[in-house]
Every structure is written in C-alpha cells, then in structure tokens.
Structure 1
Amino acid sequence: MRTLRAVALPVIGGAFLMLSPGNAFAQTPEIVVSARMPVPEGHEAVKLVVGIEDFDLTTPAGAAGMEKRIGAVIKRFCAPPPRAQRWAVKDGKACSEYAWASARPQMDQAVKAARRM
C-alpha cells in the first residue's frame, strides 16, 4: 500500500500540472508596492502586496485593470489627510511617486511574462 501511494501521488501531481493553464505559473500573482514614508529607526518601510492573479495580462483590458487596482492602492496608501498642511501634501506626492517607481517594473515584468506564454 505504501509503495502505491509513493508512486500515485507524484503521478497525480504531475497530471495536475500538465492540465493547469500555462500562464497561471508564468504570471506573477502579486505586486509588492513600497512607499517612502517617515519610519522610526530600526523599523522597515511599509510594503503592500497587491494580488493580480485574477487579471488576464495578455489583454490590454487585463493590464489596464491591474494598473487601476494598483493606482487605487497607492492613492489610498499615500493620500494626505483632509485639510493637510502643505508639507503633508508634498510628502503624499513623494510617497506616490516612490510607490509607482517600485511597482512599475514589476507590472511591466508581469505583462511581459504573461504575453510570452
């Protein structure tokens, strides 16, 4: 019985991999967005993980959906509070620019990887 299990599990697992859609393994399932914000010494900057596995990045609509989702996360993450002082608005803009700079290469790579498949 033990020998059968040792052979059957790898065979079933291999069959599952062969039947799975190809671009599901080629596509990055998430984008990590980093933002430059004041952080106390000894602590790490905040990073947000944005799932993109539900987008078909081989299409322009899928890439646009990913862009919109990441834009919404960055906007929410870096937005200054209502009636913010000028320095807070400036910090929010710098945060947004930094976050986009961290996300954009990952987004481009995810689209390229999806379209290669």
Structure 2
Amino acid sequence: MKTEDKFLQDARRALDAAEQNLDAGTVARLRAARRQAIEQGPHKPARARPGWLLPVGGFATAGIALAVAAVLWFSAPNGNFMQAGVGDIELLTAQENPDFFTELEFYEWLEGNENAV
C-alpha cells in the first residue's frame, strides 16, 4: 500500500511540474476548452431504463426458447425429439468424403435389411 501511495505522490509531483512548464498557447487552449465546457453546463444523465424492462425481456426470451423447443418436440417423428435431426447433423459434421453421402439411401436400406448381406 505504501508503494502505491508513493507512486501517486510522485505522479502528482511530476504532473504539477509539467503544468508549470506549459507554454502560453497550450494554457490558452486549455482555458478556452474549460470555458466552453462550463458554458455548456452539466449534461443530463442518460435516461435510465425502466426497472421492469429487464424481467420482461427475460420472460420474453424464455418464452421464445420454450416455443422453439415445443415446435421442435412436436415436429419430431414419433415424438423422438433427441433423434429428430441427428441424420442431418451427422451429414454436416462428418469428416468422410462427401461422395460417401451420395449413396446414403442405399446404406440406410442396407442397414435396415438384415437379409441383404
């Protein structure tokens, strides 16, 4: 803590010394900027958002998420939500050659027919 206080004191001394050595043009520009800021007066703080907006936004987001989940759930074949789009996801994330998937229906048929082998 003492090193931080010493640093702040040294910084304050260095800035005060630099202030004493400013040229007249810089001092005039600083005074003009200060005068302009004072003439403009204090600005109104940014309008605060109403307190009810955050909970309403949260409930709206949760409602949308539930609606999307319900649509996915009820549009899944046989109500099997977890495997509804697995085939498509496998296609998108596969590292095999894309030519393999041109015959995908044949491979699915082959998998379903035990007598085919």
TM-score range, shorter chain: under 0.3
- Structure showing greater radius of gyration is 2
Q: If each structure's helix is expressed as a fraction of its own residues, which one has the higher value?
A: 2
Higher relative contact order structure (alpha carbons within 8 Å, sequence separation ≥ 6): 1
Q: If each structure's strand is expressed as a fraction of its own residues, which one has the higher value?
A: 1
TM-score of the aligned structures, taking structure 2 as reference length: 0.23
TM-score of the aligned structures, taking structure 1 as reference length: 0.23
